[in-house]
Amino acid sequence: MARQTRTPAKAEAHPSKSPAAGRKTAKAAKPAAAADSKATAPRDMTRPEIAQFLTDLERAWPDAETELHYSTPFTLLIAVVLSAQATDASVNRVTPALFAAAPNPAAMVALGEDGVGELIRTIGLWRNKAKNVVELSRQLIERHKGEVPGTREELEALAGVGRKTANVVLNVAFHQPTVPVDTHVFRLANRTGLGRGKTVEAVEAALERRIPKEMIRDSHHWMILQGRYVCKARKPECWRCAASEPCLYPVKTDRPVIKPPRQTL
């Protein structure tokens, strides 16, 4: 079962102790421009910049792994399908009861669409997801003897399974060097210059081409946690980012100034 990870390693949370601290950074010395959540890197990172950026992320998120709770490839597949347009936390709230009632494809089919729906109705698109979960369980029994297949083609042929879901299952359950691109990875890759692209497919291809082979698998988890908790959608927290030096985001943010309470006489 995956562990909950919510804050970067201590070294990152405290800039004075961060891996990047002490390095001379020309960008950090510039006055901060107004935050622009849609700004992107003006160029691609160089190979040395990529290596440094990912090494900094690895230090920040040393034990990174999926935040979805699962215990088998089947429960991972179901959790990832349920997580489409829903938070991992919301999925983790419903899966204990769902997996207790249906820990395998046969039990999921027996539970049926209505039974699954009853247990997952707090997450978005629950009706459609209940239908897909039961149908893909039936397909697993019919086509794969109840086992989760280990190829992209077979996974994407299952109900409710798209490219990103297949990539997550291949990465996490089958330890393949895939780069699932969700909203966090897409944003981070374009902001930083790690792998720019206008579409999810273009970013995925750029990341697969540019990230060193030995880092591809783990980099998925580093990027998701970095995007979720530091390089946030509305306003990245560059001032506490361990990978600020090699990042090419043009409008890095400063630490917010907290005004002291007004003194009253």
How many CB atoms neighbour CB 123 within 10 A? 18
Cβ distance to ligand SF4 smaller for residue 179 or 238 = 238
| Contact assessment for residue 225 and residue 64, using Cβ atoms and an 8 Å cutoff | yes
Is residue 178 part of an annotated ligand binding site? no
How many binding residues for ligand SF4 (CB under 6 A)?
Answer: 13
- Residue 58, helix vs strand vs coil: helix
Q: Are 181 and 207 in contact (CB under 8 A)?
A: yes
Shortest distance (Å) from residue 242 CB to ligand SF4? 8
User: Which residue, 140 or 248, has its beta carbon nearer to ligand SF4?
Assistant: 248
Provide the token pair at 256: 């917010």
> Quick one: which H or E segment has residue 222?
helix 213-229
- Closest distance of CB 213 from ligand SF4, Å: 22
Task: Tell whether 209 is in a known binding site.
Answer: no
DSSP-derived secondary structure letter, 239: G
State which residue, 91 or 241, has the beta carbon closest to ligand SF4.
Answer: 241
Answer for the pair 86, 78: CB distance below 8 angstroms, yes or no.
Answer: no
First to last CA, the chain: 56
- Nearest in space to 167 (alpha carbons), one of 158, 159, 176: 176
Residues belonging to the active site = 164, 182
159 is in an annotated binding site: no
Q: How far is the CB of 164 from ligand SF4 (least distance, A)?
A: 21
Cα 155 to Cα 123: distance, rounded to the nearest angstrom: 23
20 binds ligand SF4 (CB under 6 A): no
Phi and psi, residue 174, nearest 5°: -115, 5
Indicate whether 225 belongs to the interface with ligand SF4 (CB under 6 A): no
Q: Is 222 in the site for ligand SF4 (CB under 6 A)?
A: no
Amino acid at 97: A
Distance CA(237)–CA(255), nearest Å, equals 8
Q: Are 37 and 198 in contact (CB under 8 A)?
A: no
Reading the block at residue 78, the tokens are 């179901």
Question: Smaller CB distance to ligand SF4: residue 80 or 247?
Answer: 247
Q: State which of residues 192, 204, 222, 223 lies at the interface with ligand SF4 (CB under 6 A).
A: 192
Beta carbon of residue 200, minimum distance to ligand SF4 (angstroms, whole number): 19
Is 169 or 230 the residue whose CB approaches ligand SF4 more closely? Answer: 230
Contact flag: residue 189 with ligand SF4 (CB under 6 A): no
Shortest distance in whole angstroms from residue 26 CB to ligand SF4: 13
241 is in an annotated binding site: yes
Query: Are the C-beta atoms of residues 181 and 189 closer than 8 Å to each other?
Result: yes
Binding mask 227-246 for ligand SF4 (x = CB under 6 A): ---xx----xxx--x-xx--
Q: Does 247 bind ligand SF4 (CB under 6 A)?
A: yes
Q: Which residues are annotated as a binding site?
A: 231, 238, 241, 247
Residue ranges that bind ligand SF4, judged by CB under 6 A: 191-192, 230-231, 236-238, 241, 243-244, 247, 249, 252
Q: Which residues are annotated as a binding site for [4Fe-4S] cluster?
A: 231, 238, 241, 247
